[in-house]
Structure 1
Amino acid sequence: MAKEQGIELDFNLSDQRPLAGEVRAYPLGEALFFSPKPLPSASVIPNGLGESNQILEINETYMDVGQANQGKAFQVQLIMFCIMLGVMVVTFIFFAGAFAANERFGGFLKALLAGVRDDGLIIGSILLIPLFLGWYTIIQTSLKKSRQKPIRFNRQRREVCYFDECNKKPTIIPWEETVSWVSMHKGFTGSAIVSNVTFGMAFPDSTGKDYWMFKRPVGIMEEGQRSWEIIRCYMEEEPEYWAQKAKDENRQSFDESRLQIKQKFKNGSKPIFAMSMSDPTASYFNMFGYYMFNILCLWKLPYLVSEWDSKISMAKFPKEVDEWSKAIPKEEWAKPSEELRKQKAAAEAHYAAGGSLTTLQKLVA
């Protein structure tokens, strides 16, 4: 079981089995359970759940859930933009100083070289510190993510395969034994009280006496609920209700986005100046800012790093998992338990009558 800080450490899942819709209160927080059994947390959305960056791979047999590379390119862009902006400011200071002192040194070039010789090493060292820390963060977060293999959900076998941090061997458990929740707890920063929301799942370990926990922070409670429905709908519903894998961040996606922006600007109105933080095509000024930002970020470098992040995150599975992941004849597909069928029918009728998730517990107790 993941030994991490959080109110989840107080869960006594073995002795106090939760129920879908149950709310458990803890000091400074509470948790709302979605399963077991893996019941819908609301009425099913007819047109699916859109795209999700928690899906690494999805097909008719299995779905891999983990952390995709969305956001990695922006992480690199933010660090490189700040560094390159600092380099531009320092360069401007050197040129301005050389221009002011060119007569004293007998020429602009001599004054510039003197300034670089006297102060260049110190200022360069100062700029190297945030550059080193920034790239250390980029690489360290990717390597940390790569150490945890994705969780694989096999809908045909109705089983789940996971790898805990200490055991390199896979553990395969029945899907209906999955426990899931979203928790919210409050913390004190010294000057303010902040709320933290976490989506979590727990799977029985190889001994059957404890649980391995998977947790990730989410912005709001509804985002945690959506994370659960993305997994549950894949395992329980027809393909039209599934979420889709979000598009990877790579050099191709950057080129496609840039061409779309370029075409939109070409076909739209073109004022000289019109501020818009979200639309680069709003004016010539915005388009200039868009290209300057990407040039300062070293153009496609952030997306090259994002490709590397995606590559190391999708580590190969052992042969036994590859065999377990192969499609099987439809007549051999595992079926939902009778208990789940009854509880799901009751839950769907409950939601159709206007009931909520927090009142579902009474039906499945």
Structure 2
Amino acid sequence: MIGFIDASDGQVMWLTLPTSTLGMAVSEWEAIRAYMEEGPSALRKPMMGTDLEEGTVAFFHMCRRDYLLDHGCLRYLFGFLLIQFFSGWTLPCHVASWVKQLPKTAFPKAVQDWSKPLPREQWQAPSAELIAQSEEVRKILRKGMSIFDYFLEKEKNQSKTGV
């Protein structure tokens, strides 16, 4: 859950991003933090394959051809074709593509207005403390440790020094 504070009236708006594990939540937060500190260049490029997308008509026909090659004509006729005929053939694929093209729910107007980029001259320069902390985290990550290890180590050091 991420909170956005509207500067004009101080109202907090919450955005819920469901994640299945703590590691996924930390990864999501780390991506947001890197984006805010370093901009779009900090994020990895998406790994898009050339494979067909599951649920499309082209994917269905690829599966149909593969089933015929792997199982022979008789099993293809009474197995794949019979099952697909009674399950709507490619109709589910067409319905899925239609649903995918429907407009998505948009963020509230207040969030959209708040999310517009600031002009470069209004950008806040990172503090020396933030730069130092970011460098500490990068060193830990280069050693092959996780962000959790960084905070465990930091907590141990603070308990030893009594800070």
Q: For the structure 1 residues 302 and 241, does the alpha-carbon distance in structure 2 shift closer, same or farther, using more than 3 Å as the test? A: closer
- TM-score, L = length of structure 2: 0.55
In terms of fraction of residues, the more helix-rich structure is: 2
Give 1:341's aligned residue: 131
Q: Could you say what the CA RMSD is over the residues aligned between the two structures, in angstroms? A: 4.6
Could you say which residue in structure 2 is the equivalent of 1:224? 25
Contact 1:233 1:242 in 2 (8 A): no
Alignment of 1:326-365 (within 5 A): 334=123, 337-338=126-127, 339-361=129-151, 362=154
Task: Compute the displacement of 1:337 (Å).
Answer: 0.4
> Cα 1:220–1:262, aligned 2, differ >3 Å: closer, same or farther?
same
Please give the alpha-carbon distance, in whole angstroms, between the structure 1 residues aligned to 2:88 and 2:31: 34
The match for 1:300 is 94
Residue by residue over 1:147-206, the C-alpha shift from the partner in whole angstroms, topping out at 9 and shown as x without a partner, is xxxxxxxxxxxxxxxxxxxxxxxxxxxxxxxxxxxxxxxxxxxxxxxxxxxxx2122233
Distance change (3 Å), C-alpha of 1:353 and 1:293: same
Query: What is the TM-score with the length of structure 1 in the denominator?
Result: 0.30
Tell me whether 1:289 sits opposite 2:83 in the alignment: yes
- Residue 256 of structure 1 pairs with residue 58 of structure 2: yes
Q: Give the number of the structure with larger relative contact order, counting CA–CA contacts within 8 Å between residues 6 or more apart.
A: 1
1:241 matched to 2:44: yes
Q: Secondary structure at the match of 2:17?
A: strand
Q: State the distance in 1 between where 2:78 and 2:132 align.
A: 61
Alpha-carbon distance in structure 2 between the residues aligned to 1:214 and 1:258 = 36
Distance across 2 between alignment mates of 1:234 and 1:284: 53
Q: Is the 8 A contact 1:254 1:303 kept in 2?
A: yes
Residue 345 of structure 1 and its aligned partner are, at CA, apart by 0.5
Structure 1 position 201 matched with structure 2 position 19: no
Deviation at 1:216, TM superposition (A): 3.4
The AA in structure 2 aligned to 1:344 is S
- Please tell me the residue identity of whatever aligns with 1:256: A
* Shift in alpha-carbon separation, 1:314–1:287, aligned structure 2, 3 A: farther
1:42-61 alignment runs, 5 A limit: none
Label 1:354 to 1:295 Cα distance change in 2 as closer, same or farther (>3 A): closer
Change in Cα spacing, 1:333 to 1:205, as seen in structure 2 (3 Å) is closer
Amino acid at match of 1:238: S
Alpha-carbon separation, structure 2, partners of 1:298 and 1:354: 45
| Residues 201 and 287 (structure 1), Cα distance of their counterparts in 2 relative to 1, 3 Å cut | farther
1 CA distance for matches of 2:147 and 2:59? 40
The answer (yes or no) to whether the contact 1:234–1:241 under 8 Å persists in 2 is no
Quickly say closer, same or farther: Cα 1:353–1:226, change in 2 above 3 A: closer
8 Å contact from structure 1 (residues 204, 211) kept in 2: yes
The answer as to whether partners of 1:201 and 1:214 remain within 8 angstroms in 2 is yes
Count of paired positions: 145
Structure 1 pair 294–317 and aligned structure 2 pair: CA distance change class (3 A): farther
The AA in structure 1 aligned to 2:15 is: F
In the TM superposition, residue 347 of structure 1 has moved relative to its aligned partner by: 0.6
Larger Rg: 1 or 2?
1
In 2: Cα distance, 1:257 partner to 1:357 partner = 39
Aligned residue for 2:105? 313
For 1:243 and 1:230, locate their aligned partners in 2 and report how far apart those are by CA, in whole Å: 13
Does the residue aligned with 2:16 lie in a helix, a strand or coil? strand
Q: What is the one-letter code of the residue matched to 1:255?
A: V
Q: Percent identity?
A: 13
Query: CA, structure 1 residues 261+229, in 2 after alignment: closer, same or farther (shift >3 Å)?
Result: farther
For 1:345 and 1:226, locate their aligned partners in 2 and report how far apart those are by CA, in whole Å: 18
